[in-house]
Structures are given as structure tokens and as C-alpha cells.
Amino acid sequence: MIKVLVVDDSALVRKILTEELSRQPDIEVVGTAIDPYAARDKIVALEPDVLTLDLEMPRMDGLSFLAKLMKHFPMPVVVVSSLTPRNSENALQALRLGAVDVICKPGSAYSTQNISMQIIKAVRAAAHARFDRGTMQSVPSTGSVGSVGTSGAAGTAGAAGAAYAGLPKVGLIHTTSKIIAIGASTGGTRAIEAVLTALPADTPGIAMVQHMPPVFTATFAERLNQICRMEVREARDRERLVPGLALLAPGNYHMLVEKSGANYYVRIKQGPPVHHQRPSVDVLFHTVATSAGVNATGVLMTGMGGDGAKGMLAMKEAGSYNIVQDEATSVVFGMPKEAIRVGAESEITPLQHIPASIMKQITRGQVSAAGT
């Protein structure tokens, strides 16, 4: 049983979250708190497994409380935030301070049903999250912990097929044009930041899916652009993947990769959710398999569920080299574990070694292309 403490100054939000979570047989709301001071006492008394935390509260704001909590009594925290550009910046700061996940607050652009699904998945993921205080303290100041958004159980193959159907087949041969495809979910903001900040400015074009709602993806991309040597931005439809550019799929849109001549470019589409996700890592990876094959490097990192595993397997079968984050450094070892289970990986490695593995493979691929 997952014990949850709900912290929010809104009586209505406390009521909604309590009702939605209490409907689940594996979740128990052991208490609620109106502000961080009440939360502090109830954490000690009730010993919850997961805390849901509002950011805007009286007496002490959520970010200040989160910083104190992670220093003195670290535990899994799911932030509940309003869907606004300003609050998306606060949400990313919460992830850097140690929150595991961020979901949209009831009353935002999402329906109560969507909020219910998101909070349930986020709480379950947080309960399974690796939470090592020593690891947190070793993260550099530019790092973050957690992810925005959620991952879920596997969707249907039909939905995935509908999302990337109709792409032209290409000859899977070595070329000098390389691309990198990255997927992540819970814990992924820290993982993506750690990888991208370690890559050189002339790294081949990168297409990324991080499970996030709208607004948050733009803010996350802007944050990465400020601290990375590569240019990072939220992807636009038909934008080319070129060296030195990393494109992040916009929230609520799938991102596909297509090829025209020697150029790779992204398509931004809606379509049905896959694994209950839009954007979906599987959609991205399947299209990379079709368009790039042996000229692509796949990276699958921390996250709940199985999104990305089948797409990564398709990439491997098409000749791609695939790097999967290991269990020890994954916040949630769901997506990487599923990829390993189906045999989609070429290499399993700790988070801190992924950038070097990417560059080693890119160099190897460039040598192979030069010899063809």
C-alpha cells in the first residue's frame, strides 16, 4: 500500500486529490495539510511514502519547503502545479530541487479525468523511484531530478501504427549524416540535462521525447538551451535535424523523423496516444528505425512503463546502436528494463557514461561511412 500525504492550501484540490487517489486499491491517503508547517508535523507522525505538494501556499512557498525537505528528510515528492508559463519555470526548479514528478493542477486545461490518471501514475512512479540522498547531493547545480508528465501501461499496437503509418522506406546504408534519438519519462529531466550538457556543440542532430504536458516542454527546452553547448529548442513541424541542434517534442504532440534526400527532419502531429502518452517515445523510435536505421543512435533512459521498448527494438533490427540507462542510475527502471527484456539494447550503461557512449558510437559510425 502506498501511503500519500496531500499538501495544498486549496480545500477543493485536497478533496479532489484525496478522492481520486483513494479510489485505487494500492493507494491510501493518510492525511492532508494546508501548508508546509502542518505538512512537516504530519510527515513525522504519518510517515507517508509519497508527498503531493502545491507550490503556491501561505506562510511558506512550496519551493522553499521542498529545498528544506530534501536537505533534512528526503522523500518522493510529486508537485501539483497550475499550467502556466510562470508555474512551468517553478516546476522545473522543483525538479532541480529533487521532486520526482510534476502534474497539472485540477482546474487547469486538463479534465478531472485526465488529472486523475496523471496523479495516480505519478504517485505510483514516485513510490518506485530510487531516492538516494547521497546521489542527490552530488548532482551539479545545473542538474535536476525527476520528470514532468507521466508514463503508463502499454497502449495498443494499432494506435502506434496509426501514429507513424505511411512513412517511406529508405535504404538502410551508412551515410555521413547521423542522428540521435532520446526517450525518457519519470526522472528524465535530470537524465536529459546530464547527457546534453556533456555533449559537444557539433554533436549530430538530436530528436528527444520527454513525457511532459504542454507549456512545460517549451520551458524545459529554454532551460536546456541556456546551459548546453548545443542549441536546444521545442521542435517545429518540418524542422531539419542538423548538427548542433537538439529538438524536444512539444507536449501533446507526437514527433516523427522523416528523411528527404540526405536530410532528416521532424514532423509534429497529433494522432492517438501511445502507451497513454503523446508524445510517445515508441512513435519517435519507430520512425527513426524507418528513416535512419544504421545511421541512428538510440538512447532510452529512466521512466515508468514500457514506452520506447518496441520502437527501440525496431531501431536495433534496422541497424541502429542503442544505449539503455542502467538500473542503478535510473530514477524508475521501467522503460529501460522493458527495452532490455525485449532485447532492444546494444549497451547498458550508467547515466554518467551515456554521453561518452554516444560520441564513441558517432565516431565509429563516421569511420564506417567514410569507408563505404
Domain 157-370 has CATH 3.10.129.10: no
CA-based nearest residue to 42, from 92, 6, 87? 6
Helices 85-97 & 216-227 angle (0-180, nearest 10): 60
pLDDT classification of 57: cutoffs 50, 70, 90: confident
The one catalytic residue among 82, 116, 211, 286: 211
12 vs 82 pLDDT, higher one = 12
Res. 313: pLDDT tops 80: yes
pLDDT tens-place string over residues 60-94: 989 999 999 999 899 999 999 876 666 788 888 89
Sign of the C-alpha dihedral, residues 147, 150, 151, 156?
Answer: negative
* d(C-alpha 158, C-alpha 274), whole Å: 9
pLDDT classification of 169: cutoffs 50, 70, 90: very low
Amino acid code (one letter) for 252: N
Asked if 202 is an active-site residue, the reply is: no
The pLDDT value given to residue 103: 87
Cell of 191: 537524465
The pLDDT value given to residue 147: 36
Count other Cβ atoms within 10 Å, centred on residue 59: 12
CA-based nearest residue to 84, from 212, 187, 219, 236? 219
Average pLDDT on 311-321 reads 97
pLDDT classification of 130: cutoffs 50, 70, 90: confident
Res. 336: pLDDT tops 90: yes
* d(C-alpha 1, C-alpha 46), whole Å: 14
Asked if 185 is an active-site residue, the reply is: yes
Average pLDDT on 182-203 reads 97
The one catalytic residue among 35, 54, 307, 326: 307
CATH architecture of 2-127: 3-Layer(aba) Sandwich (3.40)
Look over the chain and give the mean of its residue pLDDT values, rounded to a whole number: 85
pLDDT tens-place string over residues 263-303: 999 999 999 999 989 999 999 999 999 999 999 999 999 99
Q: E-strand spans in the chain?
A: 2-7, 27-33, 50-54, 77-81, 101-104, 147-148, 179-184, 205-210, 231-234, 240-241, 245-248, 254-260, 263-269, 296-300, 321-325, 347-349
Query: Any bridge partners for residue 264, and if so which?
Result: 241, 259
The pLDDT value given to residue 25: 96
pLDDT classification of 215: cutoffs 50, 70, 90: confident
CA atoms within 13 A on the CB side of 71: 6
The pLDDT value given to residue 210: 97
Out of 64-68, 87-91, 132-136, 214-218, least confident range: 132-136
* d(C-alpha 349, C-alpha 344), whole Å: 14
* d(C-alpha 275, C-alpha 346), whole Å: 23
Average pLDDT on 128-151 reads 44
Asked if 177 is an active-site residue, the reply is: no
> What are the residue boundaries of the structural domains of the chain, listed by start?
2-127, 157-370
Same fold flag, 2-127 and 157-370: yes
Average pLDDT on 171-185 reads 78
CA atoms within 13 A on the CB side of 107: 12
User: Which residues, 6 or more positions from 135, have their beta carbon under 8 angstroms from its beta carbon?
Assistant: none
CA-based nearest residue to 40, from 69, 16, 61? 69
Res. 146: pLDDT tops 60: no
Count other Cβ atoms within 10 Å, centred on residue 213: 24
The one catalytic residue among 185, 280, 320, 357: 185
pLDDT classification of 145: cutoffs 50, 70, 90: very low
